[in-house]
Structure 1
Amino acid sequence: MANRLKLILNLLLLFCLVACSRNTNISPLLKEAEGYMNERPDSALLLLDSITHREDMSKEQNALWCLLYTQAQDKNRIEHTADSLIQIAVNYYEKTDREDRKMLAYYYCGNVFYDLNDALQAQDYYLKAYKVGKNLDEPYWLGRLCANLGTLYIYQELYQPALDFQKEAAGYFLQDEDTVSLSMALRNIARIYVCENQLNSAITYYSKALPYTSGSHALYISNELADAYGRVGEYGKGVFYARQASALTQTTDDSCLVSLTLGDLFLKQGIIDSAYHYLSFCRRSTNVYTLKDTYHSLSQLEKYRGNLQTCLFFLEQYETLRDSVEKQTYKESLSRLQNMYDYQHVEKEKESYRQEADRKTNYLYRFLGITFFFLLLVVCIVFYLFKEKKKKEEQLNQSLRLQEQKYRDSQQYLAERNATIAELSRKAEVADDLKMQLDMMLEVVNKKIAGDTSGSIGCTQTFFTSDIYEGICKEWKKLDCEQWLEIVKWIDHVLYPNFTYKIKMVYPSISEVELQVCCLTKLDIPVSRIAVLLSMTSQAVSLNRKRLYKKLTQQEGTAKDFDKCISSL
């Protein structure tokens, strides 16, 4: 018996030594992983993964491992898929006086729920971390907490609290001398002011953010600053910052984004050729938002030019892309509202269950206090009746809950269906209004064309008997700028409407001399006379005609082929 007892004690001692040895080995690993966290988070994650005997850890070690593992995943940009690990750390540190650990546990729990698209849960934990961190001298973490809270409030379109938290975050980042995070906070403040249409304040904060920014962030901030200047009418400054952004572009989509800003700025200034150049380039973008705004601006540009057919084409492209964007936005809004509803519903149910439990508990205590004074037989009878009553109440409550759930489901379905019908009706009305406007515009244009046709013949005869035509054919020794502009006006507005525009659409990089050859050929001016007016030889004019034919048709041909091509335009 004594030998058996001695053997058991020795085994227990051995198990204790092994356990102590494992705990002793784990603590330095956790400390080393924490030391690697800021500069080498990948190494920290490998160290934490190397700890295989988590069942041998103490509660404190397990809580720290869960906190550090979640932190390492976050710093390595690994998306969180569950909150089980971080909840272990939260539950442990809530019961301790380690305020720094508690703040970090709340902070990373908020990050986990943010990855899980549960904005309100994330906000709740960020606020808990912020409340704890206010008593600590931790500007690094407080800055990130305020920035994340500001982002969540923007997500819910609560701009005033978002603005307050972003400004507080900027103060903490300035205190911590973290210029990268400071520039992001200042940019977010500017974006909030843009959402509230306070553009002068937005310009102020974009300007503050720019000196602290570099790389791609500088590109986007400069571009947004340029757009803000364009909205307040300071187009020169807008073009200046947009060109700064253009110098930083590295991808086609970035170039298209900046070109869209430049195109809008030039369009607002009425510089149509430059606006068309930049907006045409934007059609290469793969970003649906950039393309949507590009086609909208191009439709406005073509409307300004009077090209209604092209304007309608761009409007159709814009409407198609806008519908796609609105559908995506609608889905995201529904998802956001559903998450908010789910959170509030769960909290409401928790509170209801707590109140129900408190009510039943109080009732039971009162009931037991009263029945204590009765005889044992009475107590037994009452207890039996109480159990039966409770059973029936539970059955009734269960039946009522099922009916309420069915009713809520049916109401939710009806609400969603009515909302869908209302949205479709609204879109149908908008489409009908747009069709009616386009029909009216088309009728006006047709009337104008019918009215202008009768006068065009007389104007044509006037030109061919005018001093300008006489100068072209005989008198002028050389074609100067004023004479050239006068000829273009006659050709584009009277003789052959939009002739030069059609040439430029086919051959955008055409030179002025080549355009002059096209126009003089259109007027049936002899080659020898064209050579005199343009100060070149007849052979040079013929070579230009052949070369222009190839540029316009992408085919080899003779000078006569060029004349036929020009006559057909």
Structure 2
Amino acid sequence: MANRLKLILNLLLLFCLVACSRNTNISPLLKEAEGYMNERPDSALLLLDSITHREDMSKEQNALWCLLYTQAQDKNRIEHTSDSLIQIAVKYYEKTNLKNRKMQAYYYCGRVFQDLDDVLQTQTYYLKAYEVGKDLKEYSLLGRLCANLGTLYTFQGLYRPALDVQKEAADYFMQAEDSISLSMTYRNIARINVQENQLDSAITYYSKALSCSFASHKFYIFNELADVYGRVGDYNNGLSYAWKAYSQIKTADDSCLVSLTLGDLYLKSGKMDSAYYYLSFCQKSTNTYTLRDTYYSLSQLEKSRGNLNAYAIFQEQYDTFRDSIDRQTYMETVARLQSIYDYQLIEKKKEYYRQEANRKTNYLYGLFGGGALFLLVTVCIVFYLFKEKKKKEEQLNQSLRRQEQKYRESLQYLAERNAAIAELGQKTEMADDLKIQLDMVQGVINEKMLERASSPIAGIDRGKIFFASDLYQGLHTKWEILDNERWPEVVKWIDHVLYLNFTYKIKMMYPGISEMDLQICCLTKLGISVTRMAALLLRTSQAISLKRKRLYVKLTQKQGTAQDFDEYILSL
């Protein structure tokens, strides 16, 4: 009593919250309704009905409400008349990774189509639910899913797959510890075995069903087990279970059903009077199938007695009910075939539209891909032409710079060369001889001011002067490093005495050359060894060799070795 009062108060409180504000967060209400679903599905349905203004819900809340509402209707045994609500949940959860919700949506969509007598749609959604949830631990739902799928297969006469999924349902119910559902599943397995004429297996599963069934569910199991024992010829056990079923009769139809079983057992065991008594009582039944079997048994009883008139009457009544059932079965078969035809027609249309959509999508993808390819090719061509133009411009600029350098070699630096020669003449120990030679050089220079001198000045053996100088001795052995004070002296010797404007030539070919790289070029030109060069520049021999290789690439735009660099520098 206290629990019921608490439930009523909670519901009243929730209704007040819903009525007070349209913007109330309804997620707690949905959670509360789901909590009531298994124990009090009627309360869950009432609470869901109290949630109004669904337009204020989020898509997630609306999908959950549709799923729970369909579930509550199903648990309250309210027949579904439309799939509109559950399809909202299906479409939403198909786009999420919530496998448990997706499985529930598929399952209850199957239940809706089962009420709508759409066998193929029912089977499709049951299989989808099984595929999504087979790895989940939702044992109770998986059990109901397999049980319903087994019933569906049985309805279609597919007894072997029906038997397999019913056994799988039994395993799930055992893991869920649901004895009532397990009992019903064992009973369904037994019925399938009866259809397959596997009567020993049917008796085994009926016995298993009895072992885990409650008293209120045993009536039909007792009666069906009695009928199976009658089929195998064990009339004593059959009568025993038939009387057990008789002791649990609650309705007139139940009484007629058990009486039919008793009458059939007495007829098979040769007790005609008892058989006639119970079979005559069965004529009060309102069930068409019970009446059909009753008149068939009565006709066989009268035939065995030799009462041909009574036999003909009962046989005629049996034929009437049989034809009625056959017509009903035929109509159901036609309806089922029509449903299959409609389903196949819809699937064909879906496939057509799906293929048409794929074709258009592929066309758009092809169009987009072709446009992208054309754009890419165009960009590549433009980029190539741009690079070629820049390359030609660079070559032209380099040619102009070289021409300018030649001009500057002829005019601009002539005075510096004269001054350097005079200064070097004062520092040499052979001053007198050098002065005479310098005068001769000055005369030649004055006569050929505008000519380019690309080799050492004619008439003077400057090599001997250089090798005798302190500078060469310093580079060769004495100096520890080539510092900033000594480096300009080296440049003057090279550019103005030994190799006219050598450094300027290098800078024109490689404008961005660093000072150290220029030093390497000069020392190489002067014949300084790599080891001595490394000591003067405070580098390793390997570093000097690597720089020589890179300088060759920068100066010639070709790949080569350090030796190629040396040969190139000496050839300048």
Task: Check whether TM > 0.5.
Answer: yes
Task: Find the counterpart in structure 2 of residue 317 from structure 1.
Answer: 317
Amino acid at match of 1:101: R
1:340, CA displacement in angstroms? 1.8
1:344 maps onto 2:344 in alignment = yes
Distance in 1, Cα, partners of 2:149 & 2:63: 25
Task: Find the counterpart in structure 2 of residue 281 from structure 1.
Answer: 281
For the structure 1 residues 373 and 97, does the alpha-carbon distance in structure 2 shift closer, same or farther, using more than 3 Å as the test?
closer
1:255, CA displacement in angstroms? 1.1
Distance in 2, Cα, partners of 1:96 & 1:352: 27
SS at match of 1:117: coil
SS at match of 1:25: coil
For the structure 1 residues 311 and 346, does the alpha-carbon distance in structure 2 shift closer, same or farther, using more than 3 Å as the test?
same
Amino acid at match of 2:234: E
Task: Find the counterpart in structure 2 of residue 422 from structure 1.
Answer: none
1:344-423 mapped onto 2 (5 Å cutoff)? 344-359=344-359, 362=362
Task: Find the counterpart in structure 1 of residue 194 from structure 2.
Answer: 194
Amino acid at match of 2:245: A
Poorly superposed stretches of 4+, deviation over 4 Å: 21-24, 360-374
Residues 142-169 of structure 1, C-alpha deviation per residue, up to 9 Å, x if partnerless?
1111111111111211111111110011
1:352, CA displacement in angstroms? 2.4
1:23, CA displacement in angstroms? 5.0
Amino acid at match of 1:82: S
Task: Find the counterpart in structure 2 of residue 214 from structure 1.
Answer: 214
Q: Percent identity?
A: 73
Residues 356-392 of structure 1, C-alpha deviation per residue, up to 9 Å, x if partnerless?
4434554677689899999xxxxxxxxxxxxxxxxxx
Distance in 2, Cα, partners of 1:99 & 1:57: 22
Structure 2 stretches lacking a partner, 5+ long: 1-20, 375-572
Task: Find the counterpart in structure 1 of residue 225 from structure 2.
Answer: 225
Task: Find the counterpart in structure 2 of residue 304 from structure 1.
Answer: 304
1:268 maps onto 2:268 in alignment = yes
Task: Find the counterpart in structure 2 of residue 82 from structure 1.
Answer: 82
For the structure 1 residues 116 and 315, does the alpha-carbon distance in structure 2 shift closer, same or farther, using more than 3 Å as the test?
same
Distance in 2, Cα, partners of 1:264 & 1:287: 17
1:34 maps onto 2:40 in alignment = no
SS at match of 2:45: helix
Distance in 1, Cα, partners of 2:364 & 2:49: 51
Distance in 1, Cα, partners of 2:372 & 2:93: 43
1:213, CA displacement in angstroms? 2.3
Task: Find the counterpart in structure 2 of residue 335 from structure 1.
Answer: 335
Which stretch of the first structure deviates more once superposed, 102-111 or 24-33? 24-33
Task: Find the counterpart in structure 2 of residue 292 from structure 1.
Answer: 292
Amino acid at match of 2:175: Q
Distance in 2, Cα, partners of 1:101 & 1:192: 32
Distance in 1, Cα, partners of 2:368 & 2:99: 43
Distance in 2, Cα, partners of 1:104 & 1:269: 51
1:22, CA displacement in angstroms? 4.7
1:238, CA displacement in angstroms? 0.9
Distance in 2, Cα, partners of 1:23 & 1:124: 38
For the structure 1 residues 110 and 265, does the alpha-carbon distance in structure 2 shift closer, same or farther, using more than 3 Å as the test?
same
Distance in 2, Cα, partners of 1:370 & 1:93: 37
Task: Find the counterpart in structure 2 of residue 176 from structure 1.
Answer: 176
Task: Find the counterpart in structure 2 of residue 153 from structure 1.
Answer: 153
Q: Is the 8 A contact 1:174 1:182 kept in 2?
A: yes
Q: Is the 8 A contact 1:100 1:133 kept in 2?
A: yes
Amino acid at match of 2:300: Q
TM-score by length of 2: 0.59
For the structure 1 residues 23 and 163, does the alpha-carbon distance in structure 2 shift closer, same or farther, using more than 3 Å as the test?
farther
Task: Find the counterpart in structure 1 of residue 250 from structure 2.
Answer: 250
Residues 183-206 of structure 1, C-alpha deviation per residue, up to 9 Å, x if partnerless?
110010011111111111111111
Task: Find the counterpart in structure 2 of residue 398 from structure 1.
Answer: none
Which stretch of the first structure deviates more once superposed, 187-196 or 365-374? 365-374
1:50-69 mapped onto 2 (5 Å cutoff)? 50-69=50-69
Structure 1 stretches lacking a partner, 5+ long: 1-20, 375-569
1:94-173 mapped onto 2 (5 Å cutoff)? 94-173=94-173
SS at match of 1:147: helix
For the structure 1 residues 373 and 274, does the alpha-carbon distance in structure 2 shift closer, same or farther, using more than 3 Å as the test?
closer
Distance in 1, Cα, partners of 2:177 & 2:35: 21
Distance in 1, Cα, partners of 2:65 & 2:362: 42
1:214, CA displacement in angstroms? 3.4
Please give the root-mean-square deviation of Cα atoms over the aligned residues, in Å.
2.3
1:353, CA displacement in angstroms? 2.5
Distance in 1, Cα, partners of 2:37 & 2:150: 25
Distance in 2, Cα, partners of 1:139 & 1:108: 16
Residues 309-359 of structure 1, C-alpha deviation per residue, up to 9 Å, x if partnerless?
111111111111111111111111111121122112211221123224434
Point out the structure with max Rg over C-alpha: 2
Residues 412-461 of structure 1, C-alpha deviation per residue, up to 9 Å, x if partnerless?
xxxxxxxxxxxxxxxxxxxxxxxxxxxxxxxxxxxxxxxxxxxxxxxxxx
Amino acid at match of 2:47: L
Q: Is the 8 A contact 1:23 1:58 kept in 2?
A: no
Distance in 2, Cα, partners of 1:345 & 1:103: 27
Distance in 1, Cα, partners of 2:48 & 2:372: 58
For the structure 1 residues 27 and 228, does the alpha-carbon distance in structure 2 shift closer, same or farther, using more than 3 Å as the test?
same
1:326 maps onto 2:326 in alignment = yes
SS at match of 1:95: coil
Task: Find the counterpart in structure 2 of residue 72 from structure 1.
Answer: 72
Amino acid at match of 1:194: V
Q: Is the 8 A contact 1:173 1:182 kept in 2?
A: yes
Distance in 1, Cα, partners of 2:215 & 2:316: 36
Distance in 2, Cα, partners of 1:205 & 1:177: 18
Amino acid at match of 1:289: Y
SS at match of 2:109: helix
Distance in 1, Cα, partners of 2:27 & 2:369: 53
